[in-house]
A and B are shown apart, each in its own frame.
Chain A
Amino acid sequence: ETGVTQTPRHLVMGMTNKKSLKCEQHLGHNAMYWYKQSAKKPLELMFVYNFKEQTENNSVPSRFSPECPNSSHLFLHLHTLQPEDSALYLCASSQEYRGSEKLFFGSGTQLSVL
Chain B
Amino acid sequence: GENVEQHPSTLSVQEGDSAVIKCTYSDSASNYFPWYKQELGKRPQLIIDIRSNVGEKKDQRIAVTLNKTAKHFSLHITETQPEDSAVYFCAVFSGSARQLTFGSGTQLTVLP
Contact = CB atoms under 8 A, between A and B. Distances in A.
B22 to A, nearest CB: 15
Interface string A1-25: 0101000000000000000000000
Interface residues of A, number: 19
Given A42-B4, A99-B99, A100-B31, A107 B104 contact: no
Given A45-B100, A99-B99, A106 B32 contact: no
A40 B89 CA distance: 11
A105 B43 contact: yes
A40 B104 contact: yes
Chain A interface, >50% SS class = loop
Contacts of A108: 43
Interface residues of B, number: 26
B42 A100 contact: no
A43 interface: yes
Interface string A99-114: 1101101111000000
Nearest to B44: A105
Contact of B43 (A45, A56, A90): A90
Given A44-B102, A90-B44, 11 more contacts: A2-B43, A40-B105, A41-B104, A42-B89, A42-B101, A42-B102, A42-B104, A42-B105, A43-B44, A43-B102, A106-B43
List the 9 closest pairs (A to B, CB-CB), nearest first.
A100-B32, A105-B43, A43-B102, A42-B102, A99-B93, A42-B104, A100-B93, A105-B44, A102-B46
